Amino acid sequence: MTKMIWQQGELIEVTIANLSDTGDGVGRADERVVFVPDTVPGDRAIIRLVHVKPKYAHGKLQQLLETSSYRIRPSCIVADKCGGCQWQQINYDYQLVAKQNQVIQALERIGGFVQPPVDPVLAAPSALGYRNKSTYPLGISATGQVQAGYYQKGSHQLINLNQCPVQDSRLNPLLAEVKLDIQQRSWRIYNEQRHLGQIRHLGLRIGRHTGEMLLTLVVKDWNLSGIETQAQEWLKRYPQLVGVSLNRNGDRTNAIFGAETRCIAGVPHLRENFAGLEFQVRPDTFFQVYTETAEALLQIIQSELNLQGHELLVDAYCGIGTLTLPLAKKVRQATGLEVQPAAVEQAILNAHRNGIDNVTFLVGAVEKLLPQMGTIPEVVILDPPRKGCDRAVIDTLRQLKPSRIVYVSCKVATLARDLKLLCQDGQYTITRVQPADFFPQTAHVEAAAFLVLSDLHKDSNSFTKTEI
């Protein structure tokens, strides 16, 4: 049978069968795949084709003919426009099912694993009001008003927000009111096309357990007239606000933060309690956005490892020690590896603050530090950025042969790729994969994979302690 020729702008009928890893609904028509944002499995809909390829197309929802049983009314009034969330129209229980399927499919298709042991997703305590950090681009409306929000789906048009249902609700007053202060100060909003103006982003952060807040303006340069006075006014107005900072980003870039942050008033960090420890968190520090789910996943990691106190542990990509320090309390010696010097500085301070003295933090690329440590760890924690591990890290681990590896990932495609390499020739076996929902209302999913060294490889380390 000859396939019909699809044309851009054409209307077709599609039934949505599942969800892609980017959050779009996925349907089939005329033996071709159609990706459609804002749809839910079970929806039958009229779709307008917007991008057509030989084997697939991207469409836009025009009319719902039949509504999925998983479809709900979004909690946000701009959910159909704002690009911050993809799944507010999907029942939360089904979001969890979709995320588990996303992990399974990545491990099967990319990793080549047969029936991988993927547990149900660790659900978030609440599907709303969870984000401890939000960073909003700023803009100017057609009438000259300062706006803050997220970009419209598929565009660079700013959707103005006065509150956001997924961020901690205690931050909402700052989001609504700080825009008015910027307006009254006549501070110029940055224009990225012309590379003119001053203020690029508004950053808000809160300690979920302590309530302490930070306010940060990302600026093109330091010359922001009256910022010291305004910063003091903000500290007086918001009792939980402990620090106001400027971060300078003078580059033509999509990156939000620049390399340097200056505290203008108050202190340069907030205090947060995490897993029974106290951490200092700065405006530009990486810290999981859902504190409670991160703590719950850590508890599972601790339970699965069942540490006895004699182990040597390495935490690669350790950041400020969020995983390193709680685990260090249960082992003989822990070492954290991190390429960012500022993060290591904070990790060392956090160790001292909590009286943990059996941990060492090293600055440098993991692929360079790991072979030079002078010891073979029994346990290695991997928590890399979205791009996954450098191939040299995988190769070194296969030579070192630690007894156990825990790979914590925020992108299951690179997780599957790296696990395939680690498990090559049966060297490691995946005993469990625990997904966790750090990002409700979005398609993102975190996962912790637990690996054990096979018996055949336990006595054949390529390195010895004197060689490393």
Three-state SS sequence of 32-93: EEEEECCCCCCCEEEEEEEEECCCEEEEEEEEEEECCCCECCCCCCCCCCECCCCCCCECHH
**pLDDT for 467:** 37
**pLDDT for 154:** 75
**pLDDT for 461:** 57
Query: What sign has the CA pseudo-torsion 66, 72, 78, 83?
Result: negative
Do residues 449 and 418 lie in contact, with contact meaning Cβ atoms separated by under 8 Å?
no
**pLDDT for 466:** 35
E strand or H helix that includes residue 14: strand 11-19
Backbone angles phi, psi at 60, to 5 degrees: -125, 135
**pLDDT for 6:** 86
**pLDDT for 459:** 65
Number of neighbours of residue 66 by Cβ within 10 angstroms = 9
E strand or H helix that includes residue 335: strand 333-338
Place of tokens 């390529």: 462
Of 172, 249, 165, whose CA–CA distance to 206 is shortest?
Answer: 172
Residues in the chain: 468
Backbone angles phi, psi at 347, to 5 degrees: -60, -40
Q: Residues 82, 318, 410, 423: which is the catalytic one?
A: 410
Cα–Cα distances (Å) from 108 to 41, 404, 415, 447, in that order, read: 21, 22, 12, 15
Do residues 188 and 194 lie in contact, with contact meaning Cβ atoms separated by under 8 Å?
no
Q: Give 325-366 pLDDT, tens digit per residue.
A: 999 999 999 999 999 999 999 999 999 999 999 999 999 999
**pLDDT for 36:** 96
* The two three-digit tokens of residue 322, written as one number: 């969020």
318 is catalytic: no
Supply the DSSP string of 194-246, one letter for each residue. Answer: TTB-SEEEEEEEE-TTT--EEEEEEESSS--TTHHHHHHHHHHH-TTEEEEEE
d(CA 399, CA 462): 5
d(CA 87, CA 96): 11
CA atoms within 13 A on the CB side of 449: 31
**Mean pLDDT in runs of 10 for the chain (468 residues)?**
77 95 92 94 96 92 96 91 91 97 97 97 97 96 94 86 96 96 96 91 98 98 96 98 97 91 97 97 94 98 97 96 97 96 96 97 94 90 96 95 97 97 97 98 97 80 44
Number of neighbours of residue 343 by Cβ within 10 angstroms = 22
Q: Give 366-398 pLDDT, tens digit per residue.
A: 999 998 887 889 999 999 999 999 999 999 999
CA 355 from chain centre, in angstroms, equals: 29
Of 448, 336, 462, whose CA–CA distance to 398 is shortest?
Answer: 462
Q: Give 409-461 pLDDT, tens digit per residue.
A: 999 999 999 999 999 999 999 999 999 999 999 999 999 999 999 977 676 55
Q: Exposure pattern of 299-321 as b/e (b: 16+ CB <10 Å)?
A: ebbbeebebeeebbbbbbbbbbb
d(CA 377, CA 368): 16
d(CA 257, CA 63): 40
